[in-house]
A and B are shown apart, each in its own frame.
Chain A
């Protein structure tokens, strides 16, 4: 077999791998490291208050205390997005919405550089800081 033919065969062998790369990168669109239930549980706490505006203010203050710079605020939807630069890029979105008649649910989701933060530990720290700002206990969601 000639050298050219060998090269051609080798090239054909690599082609599926290349197309695999492209497909794999598309998997990132809907990929999550943990199940939806696990993520929601780690990222959500409920507070015994119905004051949404105050909760949004406390979320903003907590993010600022943690060194974030607030990028966007939507009080109507109860959404806050912020970025922290400290040798890394951490981006975070926090949403505040009513939970039943007497509670407010706060959900935080973050990415650290190129990775979604899905472990409960970082969120526990965030909610511990938010608790201090709220003067309320953060309860895990049912």
Chain B
């Protein structure tokens, strides 16, 4: 991850100028932040925070992530995986067709960061997951850098976590 980050910075440094407005915008709460929070958070009715965190780490492993860091005391685990941009299960022929029709393949690094904490009344555990990815297209030199904002991805992640801990995931 560190090598990736340095490579990214090298590329970005070449084409981005220092801009105070952009820096300020990057640290300002946007109008979309509330909706994003709701998408990224679920509440589980249990007091077993360590159990939830452990199940989360196991789910990350199920999904092919490598755990990079964890801090149980703070309810934190982060993992990443490198994958092709082609949809899983795509055959070599399909990949060739996609390339022929101007949809070149590429590689991506996906990161998942999960933070758990007791709810305000300590009767439940609140889980927040955030996904981000760097996509390197074979055509473009510049990678695409993004926080994943598709609600379905988060919904499915929490569905899987819910099944793993035999508890319903409540929206907050």
Contact = CB atoms under 8 A, between A and B. Distances in A.
Contacts, number: 127
B42 interface: no
A73 interface: yes
B8 A56 contact: no
Interface band, chain B: 35 or more
Contacts of B140: none
B137 interface: no
B156 interface: no
A19 B130 CA distance: 45
- Binding site of A, secondary structure by majority: helix, strand, loop or mixed? mixed
Interface in B143-172: 144-147
B79 to A, nearest CB: 11
A129 B29 contact: yes
A39 interface: no
Contact of A117 (B23, B29, B130): B23
Nearest to A67: B147
A87 B8 CA distance: 11
Contacts of B78: 69-72
- Can you list the 4 inter-chain pairs with the closest CB atoms, starting with the nearest? A114-B13, A85-B145, A75-B74, A125-B28
Interface of A: 56-57, 60-61, 64-76, 83-91, 110, 112-115, 117, 119, 121-123, 125-126, 128-129, 132
13 contacts: A69-B113, A70-B113, A73-B76, A75-B73, A75-B74, A84-B147, A89-B5, A110-B23, A115-B18, A122-B23, A125-B29, A129-B27, A132-B29
